[in-house]
Amino acid sequence: MQRTSSSLMSLGVLIAVLVSVFGGRPAVAATGREPVIVIPGVAGSEFTASSTFTLNVDNGHGGTYTRTYNAGDKVWVNTWEAIKLGADDYFDVLKLKADGVTPVAPALRVSGVYGSAYDDLIGYLQGQGYVQGVDLWLFPYDWRKDIRVTNAQLDTLVKRALTAANGGRTDPATWTIKRVDLVGHSMGGMIGRSYVANATRAQRIDQLITLGSPQLGAAKFLKTLMYGDDFGPHFLGIGLNSQEIKDVVQNMPGAMQLLPSSPYYTYYDNSDSGRLRPYVEDREIDGSSATKGVLSYNGVKQLLLNTGKNGTVINMAESYHTALDGTRNGGVNGVRWAALIGYGQGTLGQLREYTGSCWSWYRYVSCPKRDETPVDGDGTVALMSAAMGDPWRNTLISSGAQLWYIERGHGDLVKANYTLGVRTGDGPALTWIGDLLRGTIALSAETSALSTNTLTMAATTSKTAPDTSKVQRVPNAQLGGMWIAALGPVALEVRDNEGKATGRKRGAETATADIAESRYERLPGSEFSFVKREAPYTLSLVAETEGSTDLKVRVLGNGKVERTAVYLGVALGANGRAELALKPSTGRADAPQAWPELQVDADGDGIFEARVPAAAVLNEAESVDQTAPDVTITAPAADVQGQTSVQWQATDSGAGVLREQAVIDPDTAARIVQNGETVQLAPGAHRLVIVAIDRAGNASSREVVFTVR
């Protein structure tokens, strides 16, 4: 706290003396102002080559990457290399070896905080009178490594900051300022929490302020490990190759520690569409029937091991979370902790591998599909991970944190307000930090396990933050908008009436997200866009190759998927395209006929020759149906004399059966037959294949081989 009068300074000294004699801790520093240490998130610290070296390393896609890096080269973030098209193998230099400890390039040093991501936060603090090297300090760290190895390095910086705050005196017994404040964004908040988990270190911290920290992990990083991810077109202000990120993080404990931990599954228990578990495996991608269906924490861990992920590093991550979770009740050792949680943004909640259907020539066939479904959060971190529990069910972990919420995206938690690229003010997140540091927001070392029905806005007397009211103790709304999924070989783009677009153009490596409060996501063979605001939109599907696409428009409200319109088996040629025009009121329609038809230009000649209606509109329960129809073939038998009767039964207790199709001899003289039909076949061996599809797009197939005598 800033003390300007001599009387206040004298009073502060007296308080410090009394505290030292009678124990306890003062609410504010005795004299002067407590130093602030800013801790960036993952990838927010820069690396520079400390000497010239030549790298020879497996490039992760069948070859070896060789390059000479010169002393002084800023390796991360090298924006020029990031924006180049191609595999981005330049960043292989960041890899760790399989032990999760040893860098493949030892001649790298952490050299600073990435300014483009954190300039607003640092500039705001400087505007409040903080001076770098005096009472404002930055803590860049090696985010590739185990979070716990940062504790000693951060402790050194804390002591350095306290020495500077006390006029260069190195003897703690002479200090009048005895504590610092930590401000950590994303992984930086996990760094701070790990630091104060030690009682001795905690005595040097007054406030821990965390911003969007995935304390329980994030499904986003499970996706990164399994499939790769570019973290969106605006991540750190640069574009990255998703497969290169996947390749680079495989041996990084820091990345593994961002995976959903065991407590994550306690709150995201798959009980409804707002509490989805991170992974559904309905296709046996690892060849093991033991890891199938909606996976538990142990099921996901086994899936990772079965698919060749680094068990040593996975165990390092697990031990980190186990130790921290074991001390969560009072684990911050009395440090006053304020956690800011972003919400209201479509945030990856669930990944799913399943069997769907594709239109192939003249018939439906079973084919693999990959899907994503959102939950509420800040676009990167799910709400209940940052909040360490479920505020709607009042099942918050007693973490010691005082929780605050803001309807804002993950990166924007450390950004000022902007309109059309022009800064229009500090914004509620930064002013909230300032109010905490000034003490104009009441903050005490208490647990967060308070009923959301009784939480009220803490009093503030700040005259400089008129919009701080947007930061609240209870979320004032829940996730709404639309989550659009295109499951097939197409580029998905959403356009509004102002000409802004979110998504990807055909052949483009990178995407845009120019529509306000929108997101773009991608999986191999699938693309997704989130739009928060209700407005007219045109959905564009442009074929990358010939194939079949399922379009799903998920309508979000009250933090859940309220309904889903599905357009199944949209067949496009190599140059084909399709468009769907959505009015603002469309999402409230719960019948297929109230949804617009998808216009299809299958051959890409510029003429929409077909109009495809919605196959179904699903309610909330049907929207998360993950069970394919059950098919039983009752005829023909193995041996048939004369004419052949075809009979089967398809049932589905979830979304309900949408369509069924049977084909005899699909690979030779294909013949579509109806249920109950009797056909005359030539003597010899034949094969009957039946595909059943439910209204949610789940598909199953059964076949029988029989002989006609």
What does the H/E/C string look like for 613-667? CCCEEECHHHHCCCCCCEEEEEECCCEECCCEECEEEEECCCCCEEEEEEEECCC
Higher pLDDT: 187 or 452? It is: 187
Determine the pLDDT at residue 398. 85
Determine the pLDDT at residue 563. 96
Residue 508: strand, helix, or coil: coil
Express each pLDDT in 335-365 by its tens digit.
999 999 999 999 999 999 999 999 887 789 9
Say if residue 72's pLDDT is above 70: yes
CA distances from 587 to 113, 480, 484, 624 (A): 43, 11, 12, 17
Q: Find out whether 701 and 690 touch, Cβ atoms under 8 Å.
A: yes
Per-position b or e across 640-672, b if 16+ CB within 10 A of its CB: beeebebebebebebbebbbbbbbbbbeeeeee
Per-position b or e across 415-453, b if 16+ CB within 10 A of its CB: bbbeeeeeeeebbbbbbbbbbbbbebbebebebbbbeee
Express each pLDDT in 595-607 by its tens digit.
999 999 999 999 9
Say if residue 458's pLDDT is above 80: no
Say if residue 696's pLDDT is above 90: yes
Q: Find out whether 595 and 618 touch, Cβ atoms under 8 Å.
A: no
Determine the pLDDT at residue 360. 82
Q: Kindly indicate the confidence band of residue 670, based on its pLDDT and cuts at 50, 70 and 90.
A: very high
Predicted TM-score of the model (pTM): 0.90
Residue type, 162: L
pLDDT mean over 512-523: 93
**Ordered domains of the chain (ranges, CATH):** 1-31 (no CATH), 33-348+383-476 (3.40.50.1820), 480-623 (no CATH), 630-708 (2.60.40.10)
Q: At 673, list the tokens.
A: 């037959």
pLDDT mean over 674-686: 95
Say if residue 438's pLDDT is above 70: yes
Q: Which residues does 545 contact at the CB level (< 8 Å), separation at least 6?
A: 489, 574
Q: Find out whether 281 and 292 touch, Cβ atoms under 8 Å.
A: yes
- The whole-angstrom separation of Cα 357 and Cα 333 is 54
- The whole-angstrom separation of Cα 150 and Cα 142 is 8
Which helix (DSSP H) or strand (DSSP E) does residue 183 occupy?
Answer: strand 180-185
Determine the pLDDT at residue 237. 55
Residue type, 29: A
- The whole-angstrom separation of Cα 137 and Cα 112 is 11
Side-chain half-sphere CA neighbours of 285 within 13 A: 22
Percentage of residues in the chain having pLDDT higher than 90:
79
Q: Kindly indicate the confidence band of residue 498, based on its pLDDT and cuts at 50, 70 and 90.
A: very high
Which segment, 25-39, 359-373, 472-486, 556-570, is predicted with the most confidence on average?
A: 556-570
- The whole-angstrom separation of Cα 212 and Cα 383 is 9
Determine the longest span between alpha carbons in the chain, in angstroms.
Answer: 109
Express each pLDDT in 19-53 by its tens digit.
333 333 333 333 379 999 999 999 999 999 999 99
**φ/ψ (deg, to 5) at 406:** -150, 140
Determine the pLDDT at residue 232. 61
- The whole-angstrom separation of Cα 233 and Cα 31 is 45
Side-chain half-sphere CA neighbours of 154 within 13 A: 34
Q: At 354, list the tokens.
A: 């399943």
CA distances from 77 to 48, 183, 240 (A): 9, 22, 11
Q: Which residues does 209 contact at the CB level (< 8 Å), separation at least 6?
A: 181, 182, 183, 184, 337, 338, 340, 433, 436, 437
Determine the pLDDT at residue 706. 96
Q: Find out whether 175 and 169 touch, Cβ atoms under 8 Å.
A: yes
Pairing of strands 560-572, 616-618: antiparallel
pLDDT mean over 115-129: 94
* C-alpha of 40 from chain center: 18
- The whole-angstrom separation of Cα 155 and Cα 145 is 17
Determine the pLDDT at residue 327. 62
Mean pLDDT, the chain, integer? 89
